[in-house]
Amino acid sequence: NSPKWDNQIQGQINLKAAIRRTLTLEQNGKLYKLNDKIATLQVRPRGWHLDEKHITVDGQRVSGGIFDFALFMFHNAKEQIARGAGPFFYLPKMESHLEARLWNDVFVTTQQALGLPQGTIKATVLIETILAAFEMDEILYELREHSAGLNAGRWDYIFSCIKKFKLDKDFCLADRAKVTMTAPFMRAYALLLLKTCHKRGAPAIGGMSALIPIKNDPEKNAVAMAGIISDKRRDADDGYDGGWVAHPGLVEPAMKEFVAVLGDKPNQWGKQRDDVQVSATDLLNFKPEAPITEAGLRMNINVGIHYLGAWLAGNGCVPIHNLMEDAATAEISRSQVWQWIRSPKGVLDDGRKVTADLVRALVPEELAKIKASGHAGLFDRAAEIFTQMSTQSSFTEFLTLPLYEEQSF
């Protein structure tokens, strides 16, 4: 989501209508409405790093996440309880158990204010930062009355690793397409998350596969489907209790992989994975370091500009090159370019060093490709922002923070 004011408020209106089964959309002569059987709703408030500039208390901006949460709870909590369907939340970007404790305090205070039994609210925590990976037991403990387990991420987790180790001369990752969930440090984190959850009797949810159906190219679509099946088969075999996909058309093939392993069981808590012994060294085993290619550099530039252009225009979830991308994609793209420029290991497989001048030379070429694709977005401004953030001497913690200030809405 791009947190424009009208996006945030319309999103709340849509949630309210969806819970009451009155949500409809008329578009291109078609009427869309909810099916009789719908998926369980989990609401994702903004992370702790994001404010809501349109609402202040004593002259200070309120937390964007608390604003999202409070508005939703006030209008929908009792309706959801009456329907036996929540309220359920999905909490992103946490870096420590103290941030989980703060959310728990918010939950307790809200339940008291609304006259709800303690423990009514349930929340899944997205473990998408390297620091949170070291505190998964503590995070579950802090949310114990309200916990609905942990969920593995990918792009934001890799972004977090780059951000925390950006000045380490020994740290350098390969093209981001090569840094999959089977990379040593990603595999260690995924298995530790699974073991931690099942040790505590909490659900372990596998990472989202960003692949989407490719309707006009059967061969590429077959490759995408094979990727989905491989991801979910690995998660199910490992012991995960479920997983995410980026498109409703992929629910069925993903479900088949879990049903093949779980059968009619609701979870795999019986798989305690005593065989998994993950150390701090394993979590920090940042491989692969190669290859770094011009194609990978160009892809980071292209996807980063494409996503930023869409975000500036108000769209925060964008299909790019047959993947459903969100802000994490732009974050890893620009941070990896920034780090390659500064790392002595940031060398292309043809021997050229990644430099700011090389990046500046490639940006216009990738910008031209994006414009020629016919997609909507503020791409010229996006190219300026991407170039600045990836080549400037200082590192911007979250690119959405200056972007949010720049937009007038």
pLDDT at 175 over 70: yes
Which pLDDT belongs to residue 409?
A: 60
**Does residue 37 lie in a domain region?**
no
pLDDT at 407 over 80: no
Q: Can you tell me the distance from the alpha carbon of 390 to that of 124, in angstroms, rounded to the nearest whole number?
A: 33
User: Cβ distance 189 to 132 under 8 Å?
Assistant: no
Q: Between residues 188 and 244, which one has the greater pLDDT?
A: 188
pLDDT tens-digit readout, 306-316:
999 988 888 87
Mutual angle of helices 294-312 and 356-372, in 10-degree steps: 60
Residue position matching structure tokens 């307790």: 108
Q: What does 109-148 look like in DSSP terms, one character per residue? A: HHHHHHTPPTT--EEEEEE-SHHHHT-HHHHHHHTTTTEE
Name the domain count of the chain.
Answer: 1
**Domain housing 304:** 294-406
**Does residue 394 lie in a domain region?**
yes
Task: For residue 290, give every residue at least 6 positions away whose Cβ sits within 8 Å of its Cβ, in sequence order, or none.
Answer: 174, 349
**Residues 292, 365, 317, 209, Cα dihedral to 10°:** -30
**Does residue 153 lie in a domain region?**
no
Contacts of 103-106 with CB under 8 Å at 24 or more apart are: 103/142, 103/143, 104/142, 104/143, 104/145, 104/146, 106/66, 106/69
pLDDT at 155 over 90: no
pLDDT at 406 over 80: no
Task: For residue 7, give every residue at least 6 positions away whose Cβ sits within 8 Å of its Cβ, in sequence order, or none.
Answer: 1, 314, 316
Residues with catalytic annotation? 44, 326
**Does residue 174 lie in a domain region?**
no
Q: Which domain CATH number covers 329?
A: 1.20.1220.12
**Does residue 377 lie in a domain region?**
yes
Query: pTM here?
Result: 0.93
* Count of helices and strands (H, E) across the chain: 15, 11
Q: What is the mean pLDDT of residues 22-47?
A: 93
Instruction: Write the DSSP symbol of residue 392.
Output: S
Q: Between residues 216 and 83, which one has the greater pLDDT?
A: 83
Among 238-247, 318-327, 357-366, 388-397, where is mean pLDDT lowest?
318-327
Q: Can you tell me the distance from the alpha carbon of 375 to that of 365, in angstroms, rounded to the nearest whole number?
A: 16
Write the single-letter amino acid at 90: Y
pLDDT tens-digit readout, 88-121:
999 999 999 999 999 999 999 999 999 999 999 9
**Does residue 32 lie in a domain region?**
no
**Does residue 281 lie in a domain region?**
no
Among 31-35, 235-239, 355-359, where is mean pLDDT lowest?
31-35
Among 104-118, 282-296, 320-334, where is mean pLDDT lowest?
320-334
- CA distances in angstroms from 336 to 3, 165, 354, listed in the order given: 24, 11, 11
**Does residue 61 lie in a domain region?**
no
